[in-house]
Amino acid sequence: MSQSELLQGVIRCVDQLAESLKTLATSMTLSDDFKQISPPLEESAPEEKPAEKKVTLAEVRGLLAEISQSGRTSDVKKLIAKYGGNKLSDIKEEQLGRLYKDAEVLKNAAD
């Protein structure tokens, strides 16, 4: 048997497999048993976002001190003012995470 004949035989088998899979998929879609054991795709559970790491005041203070020591004290003051404070202790705890992210951006811009 030549290679082309073998290849044609493989192609026929793949075609038969494809037809069998189509038939199986159609019958499973129409089957009430399948519908009961497999929930529809639109009812799948939504992906949960990973919980955001809670940032402590000490972590924010350390990062801001590092930025300030690199000569950007005025930028640190502006960042604190952006969140409604004159000093870091004026910032609400729930805003610390956003402040920390902004401070990281500020630090990375300096690097």
What pLDDT, on the 0 to 100 scale, is given for residue 66? 93
Q: Is residue 88, in this structure, part of any structural domain at all?
A: yes
What pLDDT, on the 0 to 100 scale, is given for residue 61? 95
Q: Is residue 47, in this structure, part of any structural domain at all?
A: no
- Number of neighbouring beta carbons within 10 Å of residue 31: 12
Distance CA(95)–CA(81), nearest Å, equals 12
Two structure tokens written together for 38: 């497999």
Please tell me which residue, 50 or 58, carries the higher pLDDT value.
58
What pLDDT, on the 0 to 100 scale, is given for residue 51? 56
Q: Tell me the mean pLDDT in the region 54-81.
A: 93
Same domain flag for 30 and 61: no
Q: Is residue 27, in this structure, part of any structural domain at all?
A: yes
Query: Which residues fall within 8 angstroms of residue 93, CB to CB, at 6 or more apart?
Result: 57
Q: Is residue 20, in this structure, part of any structural domain at all?
A: yes
- With cut-offs at 50, 70 and 90, classify the pLDDT of residue 45: low
Same domain flag for 62 and 101: yes
- Number of neighbouring beta carbons within 10 Å of residue 44: 8
User: Residue 15 pLDDT > 70, yes or no?
Assistant: yes
Q: Is residue 46, in this structure, part of any structural domain at all?
A: no
Query: Which residues fall within 8 angstroms of residue 90, CB to CB, at 6 or more apart?
Result: 80, 84
Distance CA(80)–CA(99), nearest Å, equals 8
Same domain flag for 73 and 98: yes
Distance CA(7)–CA(95), nearest Å, equals 66
Q: How far is CA 13 from the centre of its chain?
A: 41
What pLDDT, on the 0 to 100 scale, is given for residue 9? 86
- With cut-offs at 50, 70 and 90, classify the pLDDT of residue 30: low
Distance CA(79)–CA(5), nearest Å, equals 74
Structurally, the chain folds into a number of domains equal to: 2
Could you list the residue range(s) of the whole structural domain that residue 31 is in?
3-40
